[in-house]
Amino acid sequence: MIHKLQLNLKNNTGYPIFIGSEILNDDILINFFTKKQVFVLITNTTISSLWKNSFVDFFKKNEIKLYEIIIEDGEKYKNINEVEKVITFLLKNNCNRNTVLIALGGGVIGDLTGFVASIYQRGIKYVQIPTTLLSQVDASLGGKTGVNHVLGKNMIGSFWHPMVVFSDIKFLNTLPRHELISGIAEIVKYAILFDESFFQWIEENYLKIINLDAYYLSYCIKKCCEWKIKIVSEDERENNNRALLNLGHTYGHAIESYMNYKKWLHGEAVSVGMVIAARTAEILGVITSKHVNRIIFLLKNIGLPVRAPKRMNIEDYMMYMINDKKLLSNKKIRLILPTGIGVAKIFNDVDHNTIFKAVELSKL
C-alpha cells in the first residue's frame, strides 16, 4: 500500500509525501520528472553503490537529462566546503533555475542538498528521497536545511521546502542495523511529545520495526509524518510549537558537536539528549520518576544509548548550548522538556545548575 500525505503551507503552497514500498515506479515518477527540466542527483558513496544505478535507469529509459554528484559518506561532510563543491559543479555544467536537485540519501544528503537548492541562483527546486529511517520519519520534510559549523550543528542553513518527498521503505533493507536503531530515536521522540498510546505501541512493537516488517514500518513512518505535517503547517518557521520537535536535540547537538560529528550517530545523541531532558524535567518536578524510567527503559530496550558521555563535563555542554539557535536573548537556555508521556512543554528559563545536575545524573 502507498500512503500519500500532503503538507500544506500558509502561502497556498505545499507538497506531497509518498510512503510505502516500491513507490519509485514509473507511474509516480513520471509526474515529477520530465524532459522539460535538467536534474542533478546528489548522493553519497555508500548509497551510490547500492541504489544509484536502479534509480538512474528510469532517467535513461525516459531520456531525461541527469547529472550525478557523489560526496563522501558521513556527518563530517555536512559542511560549507561540500556546499561550495556542489555549487561549483552546477556552475561548470551551466545549471540554471530550471534545474532540479534530487537528494538521495539520509539526513546529511537531504540537508545539504536542500541548502544548496535554497541558495543557488536564489533558489531552485529539489526532491527528497530519504534512504534512512531517521530521514523518512523526520528530516526529509519540514523545510529545514543546512550544514554544520565547527562550533555548532546546523548553524548555517535556511527554510526551503522540497517539491515532493518519496519515502520508500525498500531502502531500509540495506541500512546497517545500528543506523536503523538510531532512527527509532526520532520515532520515540514523537510519541513522548504527542501520543502516549503511540508510545505504548512502540513498547509492544519495536522489534517488528527493527526486523523491517513492512506494515509496522509504514505505520510508524506515516504516524510521525502526520504529526510533523500538523506542526509545520501551523508553525513553518519555528516561532512557536514547532520548537517542540527539538526534544532531546539541544543536549544531543552538544554531544555531536563535542565529538566532532564522529562516533555518535544523530539518533544516538538525541536518545541521550531525551534522557537528559527527562532528568531535567524530573529535577524541576514537572515529570514523575515513573515516566522518566519508562522512557529510559524503552530507549535501552531498543538498543539506544541512555547514558551521557563520561568525558563531557558541564562546561563542554554549555560551550555548545550557548551557541545553539534556541538560546534566548537573555542568555537563558530554552529547552523542550517532557511533562509526561505524550505531552511536553517549552521551558524558557532553565538555569545552569539544573542542567548540571541533569547531566551528572544521566552519567550514572
Active site residues: 122, 144, 186, 228, 238, 242, 246, 249, 253, 266
**What would the grid cell of residue 232 be?**
509545520
Q: Taking the CA of residue 311 as centre, how many other CA atoms within 13 Å lie in the half-sphere pointing to its CB?
A: 3
Q: How far apart are CA 206 and CA 311, in angstroms?
A: 31
Q: Cell numbers 509518498 label which residue?
A: 18
Q: How far apart are CA 151 and CA 36, in angstroms?
A: 42
Q: How far apart are CA 105 and CA 111, in angstroms?
A: 10
Which residues neighbour 55 within 8 Å (Cβ) at sequence distance 6 or greater? 24, 41, 104, 129
Q: How far apart are CA 230 and CA 98, in angstroms?
A: 30
Which residues neighbour 13 within 8 Å (Cβ) at sequence distance 6 or greater? 161
**Nearest-5° angle of CA 355, CA 359, CA 364?**
150
Which residues neighbour 272 within 8 Å (Cβ) at sequence distance 6 or greater? 248, 251, 252, 255, 305, 306, 307, 308, 309, 362
